[in-house]
Amino acid sequence: MAAIHGPRWLRWPSEPARRRLAYGADYNPEQWPREVWEEDVLAMRQAGVNIVSLAIFSWARLQPSADRWDFGWLDQVMDLLHAHGIAVDLATATASPPPWLTAAHPEILPVGHDGRTLWPGARQHWRPTSPVFREHALRLVRAMAERYGSHPALAAWHVNNELGCHNVYDYSDDAATAFRVWLRERYGTVEELNRAWATSFWSQAYGDWAEILPPRLAASYPNPTQQLDFKRFSSDALKHYLRAEREVLTELTPDIPVTTNFMVMGDTKGMNFADWAREVDFVSNDHYLLDGERDELSFSANLTGRLANGDPWFLMEHSTSAVNWQPVNLAKQPGGMVRDSLTHVAYGADAVCFFQWRQSAGGAEKYHSAMVPHAGTDSEVFRSVVDLGATLEALAPIAGTRRRRAQAAIVFDWDSWWASELDSHPTSRLRYRQEALDWYTAFAAAGVRVDVIGSAGEFAHYDLLVAPILHVVPQALADRLTAYVGGGGHLVTTYFSGIVNEHDHVWLGGYPGALRELLGLRIEEFGPLRDGDRVHLDLGVSGTLWSDRIDVTDPDVKIVASYTSGDHTGRPAITTRLAGAGSASYVSTRLGPDGLGPVLAELLAVSGVRPELPEAVAGAVELAVRTGDDADYWFLINRTDESVAVDGVTGEVLRAPCLAEGLTLGPREVCVLRRPH
Ligand code: GAL
């Protein structure tokens, strides 16, 4: 096994040495009568399903009251799946506490910032810091591990489910107590906390730890450092909860890998998954396509793969077709599901799973698509599910291969995401993730591969590093960036970067504070723009959201573009400071993906980063590369809804459809080429 994957991956019950991609779904048999289970496993085999996630929301069924347990039905399901060669990613079943528990212990219910309780009736109504919840949940985890730890179908443990999906921010008294402990560890003394939180402002100085609270609904803006620390704490609280479950599991079943499904996706930002990635044996992620945001899927898959350190990761959930929680829930277009799945695989997923196996007839998610829709197996969705199973079988040779690094990277930093979007800022319109995604789309349009990395990633691997809105820059990060440029790297950053340190205190002396010398600029006042306002640049592009009045302070700074309209007409808008073999560039406005095109072209030229696909398909075809012992695997992803001919790229075609007309990719199609080293 270790030869195919790293030390910790699924423990395949059957044929462990066989190379394969995992394929399956969340399976919720408790919603169906026993006869349906038999149909399910047969249809799973037909589709090529080899793994399911089980028991995610089964707590009430497994433990109908405090002292009653009912494992019989789950024993049967586990045995049935195993008899059909289907492995189980078994949930610890702690995601949704049963009514008897919340009735007996309402003190486990989370509390909003306005003091309102989040009542049971949906799911995930538990406080991450509740000792009572933890006691009951860990008892269940222990019972699960004792009962199923040696079941032959068990391939991995699935801790809880989407930790923090609904309950990351809890302002209860339990949270207050745990927050104080966390702060004590961080600051040591109340005096130190007072300094970090700048409590001399608005008469907030604390005399004792007991006076400190979570940032509950206040008369005005709560202290920003308190808010930032509460975000850090809340992510940590769930991480500590994850650890608590994991410790029980590894104590009882040390050979079974432990994972939990992250949500590197869209605007889900409460959990710092870059920080959590070390806590699991392998990274898992859930991703749902947001209407109109196709590059966001690629961006998230890309980031997930880098958080997994380039190792294979597990796509635990995505959808075969429509979801039920967007304002309007569109079915996927033909080919859309396969393209989405294979895009994840392209960025390192060795498992393609869905929510869920069989579409529910009742409950809140009955209009959410599944592998077996309401229409049954005689349906387009199920036929494409079967096709996808065959495709993944054909792609088995890539299992265990790693991501091949790109020459360029976009840095994604949770602290900056959190801090740059706090209240009482120069503009409330700034969107951290959107700026990063704009750059990603600009790279895709230029046909250039780029990695998305966490801010702790190794910068020196890359020739070009884009750090959009890198707002929080502690001294150590500034030093790393300076060393990167000194070592010949090409850094580009944007408006509102380098502004504050880890305590959200402004670096004094002019913006962009911590990066002022590296960039060779000085800015005295921010120039946010009104909604609808645009500033024009002599590069033929225009900006929105922000502008800066830049003074160049270093003779080695070259002005790449200047403003031709707005308050800063005639002044620099985009600059580059040449520093030895490296450079440090600054973009002072929001250009959007199109406007970034010419800027990126210049940066690519300076840094020597080149597209690997023919120029003719730049923008139409996205390339992602995985690499194994003897070959690279090129994933050519058609980003468009038209056919695209790809000339001049050779390799052994692993995935059939693009054979049809040589290397022609049909609309939304993905072709996988094996290219021996
Ligand atoms: C996820 C969750 C699943 C299901 C799915 C629907 O957040 O883990 O249980 O609710 O979303 O898209």
What CATH number should be reported for the domain holding residue 277? 3.20.20.80
Look at ligand 1, atom 4, and give the residue with the nearest C-alpha. 355
54 and 148 belong to one structural domain: yes
Mean pLDDT of the chain: 96
Look at ligand 1, atom 3, and give the residue with the nearest C-alpha. 355
Confidence of residue 1 (pLDDT cuts 50, 70, 90): very low
User: Model confidence over 356-381: pLDDT tens digits?
Assistant: 999 999 999 999 999 999 999 999 99
Question: Has residue 597 been placed in a domain?
Answer: yes
Question: Has residue 3 been placed in a domain?
Answer: no
User: Model confidence over 543-565: pLDDT tens digits?
Assistant: 999 999 999 999 999 999 999 99
The pick from 96, 323, 355, 366 for probing ligand 1's pocket by mutation, whose C-beta has the most ligand atoms within 8 angstroms, reads: 355
User: What are the strands, taking DSSP E only, across 174-267?
Assistant: 258-259, 261-262
Question: Has residue 114 been placed in a domain?
Answer: yes
Percent of the chain's residues with pLDDT above 70: 98
Question: Has residue 218 been placed in a domain?
Answer: no
Ligand 1 contacts CB of residue 317 (under 6 A): yes
Q: How far is the CA of 103 from the centre of ligand 1 (A)?
A: 25
Cα-Cα-Cα-Cα dihedral of 291, 296, 297, 300, to 10°?
A: -140
Q: Which atom of ligand 1 is nearest to the CA of 56?
A: 9
643 and 586 belong to one structural domain: no
Question: Has residue 221 been placed in a domain?
Answer: no
311 and 386 belong to one structural domain: yes
391 and 477 belong to one structural domain: no
In DSSP notation, 611-630 reads -SS-GGGTTTEEEEEEE-SS
pLDDT at 658: 61
568 touches 537 (CB < 8 A):
no
Longest Cα–Cα distance of the chain, Å, equals 78
pTM for the complete prediction?
0.97
Question: Has residue 222 been placed in a domain?
Answer: no
Rounded-to-integer distance, Cα 35 and Cα 15, Å: 29
| Domain stop point among 349, 379, 399 | 399
Q: What is the mean pLDDT of residues 564-590?
A: 97
Residue 657 has pLDDT above 80, yes or no: no
User: Model confidence over 491-523: pLDDT tens digits?
Assistant: 999 999 999 999 999 999 999 999 999 999 999
327 and 458 belong to one structural domain: no
632 and 651 belong to one structural domain: yes
Q: How far is the CA of 129 from the centre of ligand 1 (A)?
A: 23
| Domain stop point among 583, 607, 631 | 607
Residue 6 has pLDDT above 90, yes or no: no
Cα-Cα-Cα-Cα dihedral of 240, 242, 243, 247, to 10°?
A: 140
Give which of 61, 49, 121 is closest to 91, Cα–Cα: 61
Confidence of residue 637 (pLDDT cuts 50, 70, 90): very high
Ligand 1 contacts CB of residue 355 (under 6 A): yes
Q: What is the mean pLDDT of residues 68-86?
A: 98
Residue 1 or 638, more confident: 638
Which of these ranges, 139-143, 161-165, 185-189, 637-641, has the smallest mean pLDDT? 637-641
Question: Has residue 475 been placed in a domain?
Answer: yes
582 and 646 belong to one structural domain: no
| Domain stop point among 557, 583, 607 | 607
Q: What is the CATH number of the domain that holds 660?
A: 2.60.40.1180
Ligand 1 contacts CB of residue 288 (under 6 A): yes
The pick from 59, 163, 365 for probing ligand 1's pocket by mutation, whose C-beta has the most ligand atoms within 8 angstroms, reads: 365
571 and 631 belong to one structural domain: no
Report whether 325 belongs to an annotated binding site: yes
Task: Give the chain's domain count.
Answer: 3
Ligand 1 contacts CB of residue 180 (under 6 A): no
395 and 412 belong to one structural domain: no
Question: Has residue 8 been placed in a domain?
Answer: no
Place of tokens 């019989």: 72
pLDDT at 245: 98
List the catalytic residues.
162, 317
299 and 434 belong to one structural domain: no
Q: How far is the CA of 262 from the centre of ligand 1 (A)?
A: 11
Percent of the chain's residues with pLDDT above 90: 94
Q: What is the mean pLDDT of residues 641-666?
A: 80
627 and 601 belong to one structural domain: no
Q: What is the mean pLDDT of residues 446-467?
A: 97
Q: Which atom of ligand 1 is nearest to the CA of 323?
A: 12
Q: 358 is in which domain, residue-wise?
A: 22-169+240-399
464 and 356 belong to one structural domain: no
Q: What is the CATH number of the domain that holds 592?
A: 3.40.50.880
